[in-house]
């Protein structure tokens, strides 16, 4: 969805309209006038660069920010140092993401010395933490704009404030009740996109910072979601991913009986949409109805990301996860029984405070029983402000040893799981050129496995029936059997 909603006018004279999104469209035009004037002075177009850290929701937010800047007349820069506006969309789920941002900000000092007119903007989850803001103010005073997760949509107004002043613009909201969509967006891929169905999280797992930086759960109206899906389909999108911190919670608080299973069914039946994915499901409330909905719709991806985090009941309770190992194992079995060839992937944390060798053994046992198709495995990372960060932390060498054991197990099993499709003919969405061989394309099957195959007259965004000739561990080499329309 690129451009403006139909049926609205965008006057720039007089006071800014109070209602959204008309207010931001007003400031987009205000910024456009200033940017065009500066471009004429420099005799070149002004450029932007967005670096995104974190989850698919951050990726979608960055698409919106790119769309807004594109409507202002900015064009993408080839690299960070060539940007006139450099924006970092941050993540704070793990310590490594924090370190990466601070590393980039250190480099930015040289960028600013080279181009004194460069503007540096920071947004996203890290900006919701007060200690982060304090560090940025003291260590990186050349940052120009700081905003958080709840007011992403106000970027045009914040940028206009900075363009018309010489001081840093900072706006951090602790929470938000309104959801503002219908602003320009520039998709990273023309054939697929993420669709936010809800924001925030109410689960408060003891290790997780997300509820504190993303706020409480807020669901979008079903009609607005379906309208966005239909617009995307009309614009050439064939695959969508429904996004939420826990999609199973969708609909709570709305004046509607539509929950996530019903919404997923509506999305799958939208004209032009050939594949529907979703992220992420919490094991505590993945319902039989949702499993049934997936099984009944061939175009809903046979891939469920179901974070385990730990296979120990004791640690699960300490994490505030609200399920047991046996309940998780039973749920995974129920999913596999109902949906043949389903791919189940997961998240696993190793080194949570208090974890013992016995707890790790329990996790390894669940891995062996469920046989995950893939797993994101992490060493526990304390997040300031969460209950687990106040607990006694484990010895790093002990954590590393157990992490290596868990990682080895999930890699071995996921490799074995991938091989089960060898020799099969599967529907593949062509996603781009193979980076190592320009004569081939790369795509994904419904289960999310990567496939490399000859171009065979296909285009990016096409579906094709591909024979999976050879499994190479975490990807396949294939042969096109028949292109599909």
- Look at the alpha carbons of 125, 126, 129, 130 in this order and tell me if their dihedral is positive or negative: negative
Q: Who's near 458: CB < 8 A, 6+ residues apart?
A: 430, 441, 464, 480, 483
pLDDT in tens, 341-364: 999 999 999 999 999 999 999 999
pLDDT at 338: 98
CA–CA distance, 406 with 351 (Å, rounded to integer): 11
DSSP state of 333: H
Q: Give, to the nearest 10 degrees, the angle between helix 260-268 and helix 222-234.
A: 20
Q: Who's near 396: CB < 8 A, 6+ residues apart?
A: none
CA–CA distance, 258 with 391 (Å, rounded to integer): 40
Do 151 and 61 touch, CB atoms closer than 8 A? no
CB-count burial class (<10 Å; 0-12, 13-18, 19+) for 193: buried
Q: Which residues of the chain have pLDDT under 50?
A: 1-10
DSSP state of 386: S
Phi and psi, residue 447, nearest 5°: -75, 0
CB-count burial class (<10 Å; 0-12, 13-18, 19+) for 122: buried
pLDDT at 454: 96
- Look at the alpha carbons of 70, 127, 20, 244 in this order and tell me if their dihedral is positive or negative: positive
Q: Is residue 260 helix, strand or coil?
A: helix
pLDDT at 97: 86
pLDDT at 3: 41
Rounded to 5°, the CA angle 315-317-319 comes to 70
Strand-by-strand arrangement of the 239-243 sheet: 192-196, 239-243, 275-279
CA–CA distance, 307 with 55 (Å, rounded to integer): 14
- Look at the alpha carbons of 11, 17, 19, 20 in this order and tell me if their dihedral is positive or negative: positive
Q: Give, to the nearest 10 degrees, the angle between helix 155-163 and helix 56-71.
A: 50
Q: Over the Cα atoms of the chain, what is R_g? A: 23
Taken in order of first residue, the domains within the chain and their CATH numbers are 22-171 (3.40.50.12160), 192-420 (3.80.30.20), 422-483 (2.40.50.140)
Q: Is residue 101 helix, strand or coil?
A: helix
pLDDT at 413: 96
DSSP state of 189: B
Do 437 and 395 touch, CB atoms closer than 8 A? no
Nearest to 68 by CA among 123, 126, 115: 123
CA–CA distance, 318 with 354 (Å, rounded to integer): 9
pLDDT at 221: 96
Q: Is residue 472 helix, strand or coil?
A: coil
pLDDT at 404: 98
CA–CA distance, 452 with 450 (Å, rounded to integer): 7
Answering whether pTM is above 0.85, one says yes
CA–CA distance, 469 with 203 (Å, rounded to integer): 43
Number of Cβ atoms within 10 Å of the Cβ of 130:
12
Number of Cβ atoms within 10 Å of the Cβ of 262:
17
CA–CA distance, 155 with 65 (Å, rounded to integer): 7
Do 223 and 263 touch, CB atoms closer than 8 A? no
Tokens found for residue 187: 């998709």
pLDDT at 484: 67
Tokens found for residue 18: 């109070």
Tokens found for residue 166: 């010489």
């Amino acid at each position: 969805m690129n451009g403006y909603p139909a049926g609205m006018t965008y006057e720039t004279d007089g006071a800014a309209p109070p209602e959204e999104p008309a207010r931001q469209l007003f400031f987009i035009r205000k910024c456009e006038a200033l940017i065009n004037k500066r471009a004429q002075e420099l005799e070149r177009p002004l450029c932007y660069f967005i670096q995104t850290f974190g989850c698919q929701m951050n990726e979608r937010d960055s698409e919106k920010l790119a769309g807004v800047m594109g409507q202002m007349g900015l064009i993408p820069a080839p690299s960070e140092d060539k940007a006139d506006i450099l924006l970092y969309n941050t993540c704070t789920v793990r310590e490594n993401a924090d370190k990466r941002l601070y590393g980039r900000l250190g480099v930015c000092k040289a960028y600013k010395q080279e181009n004194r007119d460069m503007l540096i903007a920071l947004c996203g989850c890290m900006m919701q933490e007060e200690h982060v803001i304090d560090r940025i103010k003291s260590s990186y005073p050349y940052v120009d704009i700081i905003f958080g997760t709840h007011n992403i949509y106000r970027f045009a107004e914040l940028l206009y404030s900075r363009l018309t002043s010489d001081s840093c613009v900072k706006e951090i909201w602790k929470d938000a009740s309104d959801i503002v969509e219908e602003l320009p967006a520039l998709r990273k891929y023309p054939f697929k996109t993420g669709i936010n169905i809800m924001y925030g999280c109410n689960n408060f797992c003891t290790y997780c910072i997300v509820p504190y930086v993303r706020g409480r759960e807020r669901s979008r109206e079903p009609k607005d979601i379906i309208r966005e899906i239909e617009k995307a389909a009309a614009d050439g999108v064939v695959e969508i991913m429904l996004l939420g911190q826990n999609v199973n919670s969708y609909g709570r608080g709305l004046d509607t009986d539509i929950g996530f299973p019903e919404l997923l069914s509506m999305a799958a039946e939208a004209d032009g949409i050939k594949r529907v994915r979703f992220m992420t499901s919490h094991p505590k409330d993945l319902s039989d109805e949702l499993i049934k909905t997936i099984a009944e719709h061939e175009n809903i991806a046979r891939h469920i990301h179901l974070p385990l985090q730990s296979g120990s009941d004791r640690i699960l309770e300490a994490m505030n996860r609200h399920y047991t190992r046996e309940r998780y194992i039973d749920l995974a079995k129920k999913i596999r029984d109902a949906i043949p060839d389903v791919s189940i992937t997961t998240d696993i944390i190793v080194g949570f405070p208090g974890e013992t060798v016995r707890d790790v053994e329990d996790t390894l046992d669940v891995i062996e029983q469920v046989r995950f198709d893939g797993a994101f495995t992490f060493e526990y990372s304390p997040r300031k402000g969460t209950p687990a960060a106040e607990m006694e932390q484990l010895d790093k060498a002990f954590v590393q040893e157990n992490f290596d054991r868990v990682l080895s197990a999930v890699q071995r099993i996921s490799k074995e799981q991938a091989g089960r499709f060898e020799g099969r003919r599967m529907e593949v969405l062509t996603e781009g050129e193979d980076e190592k061989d320009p004569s081939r394309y790369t795509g994904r099957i419904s289960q999310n496995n990567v496939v490399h195959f000859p171009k065979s007259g296909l285009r990016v965004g096409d579906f094709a029936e591909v024979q999976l000739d050879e499994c190479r561990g975490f990807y396949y080499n294939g042969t096109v059997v028949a292109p599909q329309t």
